[in-house]
C-alpha cells in the first residue's frame, strides 16, 4: 500500500511569517524517515499505511501546540492505493514521459 499525503499546517496566531514553526514540523517529517517533498504551499509525504500518515499529522499538531500556538490551520489531501509504492516519484515520472512523447 502507498499513501500520499499532501498537507499544510501552520499557526494563524503568530504573525505574518511562520517559517520558524513550519520548519519544526518539517524536521519531524524528515526525522520520521518518510519520503517527503516540501513545496511552497505545503508538504507531500509518502507512507506505507494510512495510520502512519495520520500519525505525522498528529505529531505536526503536537509540535505547534507545544510551541504555544493557540490557533492552527491545516488542510489535508490523501491518495491511498493498494499494491503500489514509490508513487511520489513514479507519478511525476509518468507525466514527464508522456510530455516527452508528445514533444517528439
Q: What is the CATH number of the domain that holds 27?
A: 3.30.70.930
Contact 53, 47 (CB under 8 A): yes
Please state the domain count of the chain. 1
SS3 100: helix
Distance CA 54, CA 45 (A): 11
- pLDDT confidence of residue 19: 97
pLDDT digits (tens, 9 = 90+) for 65-103: 999 999 999 999 999 999 888 888 888 898 999 998 766
Range of the domain at 42: 2-103
Distance CA 104, CA 100 (A): 6
Report, in this order, helix, strand and coil percent for the chain, each rounded to 5.
45, 30, 25
Amino acid at each position: 500500500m502507498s499513501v500520499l499525503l499532501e498537507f499544510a499546517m501552520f499557526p494563524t496566531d503568530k504573525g505574518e511569517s511562520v517559517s520558524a514553526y513550519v520548519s519544526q514540523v518539517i524536521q519531524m517529517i524528515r526525522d520520521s524517515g518518510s519520503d517527503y517533498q516540501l513545496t511552497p504551499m505545503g508538504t507531500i509525504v509518502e507512507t506505507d499505511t494510512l495510520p502512519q500518515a495520520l500519525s505525522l499529522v498528529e505529531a505536526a499538531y503536537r509540535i505547534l501546540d507545544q510551541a504555544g500556538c493557540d490557533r492552527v490551520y491545516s488542510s489535508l489531501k490523501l491518495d491511498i492505493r493498494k499494491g503500489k509504492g514509490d508513487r511520489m516519484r513514479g507519478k511525476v515520472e509518468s507525466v514527464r514521459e508522456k510530455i516527452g512523447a508528445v514533444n517528439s
